[in-house]
Amino acid sequence: MAIAYDIAMKEARPEEDGSAPIVAVKNLHKSFGINKVLDGVSLSVSRGETLAVLGRSGTGKSVLLRLIIGLEIPDSGSVCIHGQNIAGLALDRMGEIRKKMGFLFQHSALYDSLTIAENVAFPLEHHRRDMSRSERGDRVKQLLAEVGIEGDLGKMPSDISGGMQKRVGLARALALEPEILLLDEPTAGLDPISSGEIDDLILKLQRERQMASIVVTHDLHSAKTVSNRLALLDQGKVVIEGKFENLQQSDIGLVKEFLKQS
Amino acid sequence: MSDRECAGVAGVNPPLLVQRTVPIPSVVDSVGRLANGFFEWFGSLGIFSWKVLRAAVTPPYEWRELIRQLDEVGSKSLPLVALAGAAIGIVVSLEARYSLSRFGAKSMFPATLVYSVIQIMGPIITGLIVSGRVGAGIGAELASMKVTEQIDAIEASAINPYRLLAATRILACILMLPLLTVATDGCGLLTGWFAQSLVEPLSFHQFIESGFRGATFNAFLPPTFKTAVYGLIIGLIACFQGMRTRGGAEGVGRAATNSVVLASLFVILADVVLVKFILVVFT
């Protein structure tokens, strides 16, 4: 795991190649009724970079991802993808933006009436109508092989383990060759070995595809493994953002507490 | 030790006894909340309907899903509506024969059965049967997808869920209800004739000729095609209830139940309006 982390640190240093952020969130505010979830959050992610968003349960981490992909509309602030503010865009206009994004849901959100292969083929059937059925089938097999699933492609999501569901969810998220990858608690509910395998898989995919990725997690070990930078959210605000060493050197009480408890 | 004694020990005055009262909501509050919920529901339904309509008329169209839903709504409901139609036919036959005999109008039996089944019983029974089977099915299916984030996953994959899930189901209901009604009517007439034949032999040819004598298309087509409106109501309410579900398994159950209850209620109310409309326009 430590070796994998070092490789990630060496290979992805956006501050060195000076790439502009692909995803830029500025001063986001979001409330649900009287519950203020995000209170002025600003973050950015560049190509080839992985940002881990940490925090306790209920601090708005998943809401942040949902705002970025447009499943929620912010009360104020902006969500810029390639410089275009997408906050509040109409559904059909969001479609073109979303084709560049892949989203792995916390519980995978696989379509339970479709097989594993059909789940991964779903985005291709709707957006790659130029592909023939056999081309689509080959592409699905390739995607599933990339995430370590070969054979048993006719199984239903209820017939496979949680770890395999995550892998299928990841393969589906990668189907349209996204530039941006959003992962909501990718290791939630998994045993330590499966968590490690998912972390290694995310790292491998990031190294190969150089996407701008945001990983939301409460697992500090996972965050250290897969990310270049970490941001800690608390009470709707970014308490600290930077590399893991920055967090270790921080004097902020909450950060120390978080590192101690993790 | 009493409060006063404790206070003496502590050196402070004992607190006054405060009678705890539970506020009873006023009638005005209750009515206000009910009215608010009523208008909120209709407002949300209106917004949902607009989104579905926009999605339905904008390409790319989901033909494969539409065909799948036509099968789901149509062919899988056929045995149920056929059985219901058969039962109606027998019931109407028995009741009509008894009533007509009392007034010496037995010769009117074929026309009575035909008009009763095709104009009145067939459409409403088909609507209620389908609202139960299809309404509950669609409501539960979409609610289950909502609480497991599958609808969010569809939207995140840059696919319009209103087009893929709602528009296809609603259109399938609109197209299939008239056809299912024809099936209900057919089974009803067949079993009605059969029940009558057991008592007083009457050939099917004579029955049809007598029953449809003097009838025009205006007498039978509007009542059959009005069921397309029932289909719109059933599909729209079931999809709306399903796609706005919250609350896990309990929410799914509530969505399925509300889909059936509300769809059935609105089908009956629509029947009142449509019957009058048909009488005014087509008679």
d(CA A32, CA A73): 11
Q: What is the mean pLDDT of residues A227-232?
A: 93
Mean of per-residue pLDDT scores for chain B: 90
Beta-carbon separation of B159 and A126 below 8 A: yes
pLDDT tens digit string along A71-114?
A: 999 999 999 999 999 988 888 788 999 999 999 999 999 999 99
Q: What angle do CA A203, A207, A212 make, to 5 degrees?
A: 85
Banded model confidence at residue B5, pLDDT cuts 50, 70, 90: very low
> A178 contacts in B (CB within 8 Å)?
none
B159 contacts A95? CB cut-off 8 A: yes
| pLDDT for the residue numbered A56 | 85
Q: B153 contacts in A (CB within 8 Å)?
A: 103, 105, 109-111, 172
Structure confidence at residue B22 (pLDDT): 60
Q: Does A13 score more than 50 pLDDT? A: no
B51/A contact by beta carbon, under 8 A: yes
Chosen for mutation from B64, B149, B154, B157 (greatest number of chain A CBs closer than 10 Å) is B157
Residue A49 CA to residue A56 CA, distance in Å, equals 23
A94 and B158 in contact by Cβ < 8 A?
A: yes
Inform me whether the C-beta atom of residue B149 falls under 8 Å from chain A C-beta atoms. Answer: yes
What domain count does chain B have? 1
- Determine how many CB atoms are found less than 10 A away from the CB of residue B253: 15
B148/A contact by beta carbon, under 8 A: yes
Residues B49-76: pLDDT tens digits? 999 999 999 989 999 999 999 999 999 9
Q: How far is B77 from chain A (nearest CA, A)?
A: 20
| Residue A172 contacts B where some CB pair is shorter than 8 Å | yes
pLDDT at B9 over 60: no
Is B147 part of a structural domain of the chain? Answer: yes
Cα nearest neighbour of A177 on chain B: B157
Substitution target in A63, A67, A71 with the highest count of B β-carbons within 10 Å is A71
Chain A residues with CB inside 8 Å of B144's CB? 112
B57 CB near a chain A CB, below 8 Å?
no
* Residue B166 confidence (pLDDT) above 90: yes
Q: Among B58, B153, B158, whose Cβ lies nearest the Cβ of A105?
A: B153
Instruction: Tell me what percent of the residues of chain B surpass a pLDDT of 90.
Output: 76
Instruction: Provide the domain limits for residue B78.
Output: 51-282
Could you give the strand order of the β-sheet that contains A50-55, starting from the edge strand earlier in sequence? A101-104, A180-184, A212-216, A50-55, A229-234, A237-242
* pLDDT for B124: 96
Q: Does B59 touch chain A (CB under 8 A)?
A: no
| Pairing of β A21-32 and β A35-46 | antiparallel
Residues of chain A in contact with residue B160, where contact means CB-CB under 8 angstroms, are 91-92, 95
At residue A59 the predicted structure's pLDDT band, cuts being 50, 70 and 90, is confident
Asked if the structure places residue B14 within a domain, the reply is no
Q: Is residue B262 part of a domain?
A: yes
Nearest chain B alpha carbon to A114: B150
Chain B contact for A114 (CB, 8 A cutoff): no
Residue with tokens 């120390």: A256
Q: Which of B152, B157, B160 shows the shortest C-beta gap to A123?
A: B157
CA distance A105 to A158: 16
Whether residue A71 lies within 8 A of chain B, CB to CB, comes out as yes
Which one, of A120, A150, A152, lies nearest residue A137 by Cα?
A120
With respect to residue B21, please indicate whether it lies within any of the assigned structural domains.
no
Beta carbons within 10 angstroms of residue B224's beta carbon = 20
User: Inter-chain contact B157–A126, Cβ cutoff 8 Å?
Assistant: yes
Does A130 contact chain B (CB < 8 Å)?
no
Structure tokens at B252: 């799914």
Task: Tell me the nearest-neighbour CA distance from B166 into chain A, angstroms.
Answer: 15
Q: How far apart are CA A214 and CA B21, in angstroms?
A: 52
Distance (Å, whole) CA A238 – CA A231: 7
Distance of CA A165 to the CA centre of its chain: 15
Residues B234 and B127: beta-carbon distance below 8 Å: yes
Q: Judge whether residue B278 has pLDDT over 80.
A: yes
Do the domain assignments include residue B202?
A: yes
Structural contact between residues B238 and B145, judged by C-beta atoms closer than 8 angstroms: no
Residue B218 contacts A, CB cutoff 8 Å: no
For residue B265, being part of any structural domain is answered with: yes
Q: How much is the pTM? A: 0.87
State the complex-level ipTM: 0.89
In a domain, B19, yes or no: no
Of A99, A103, A165, which to mutate for an interface test with B (greatest number of B Cβ within 10 Å)?
Answer: A103
Reduced to 3 states (helix: H, G, I; strand: E, B; else coil), residue A212 is strand
The answer to the question of residue B246 being in a domain is yes
B150 contacts chain A (CB < 8 A):
yes
pLDDT in the model for residue B215: 82
CB proximity list for B274: less than 8 A, separation 6 or greater: B226, B229
- Please count the other Cβ atoms lying within 10 Å of the Cβ belonging to residue B12: 9
Cis peptide before A157 (omega within 30 of 0): no
- In tens, the pLDDT along B71-103 reads 999 999 999 999 999 999 999 999 998 888 888
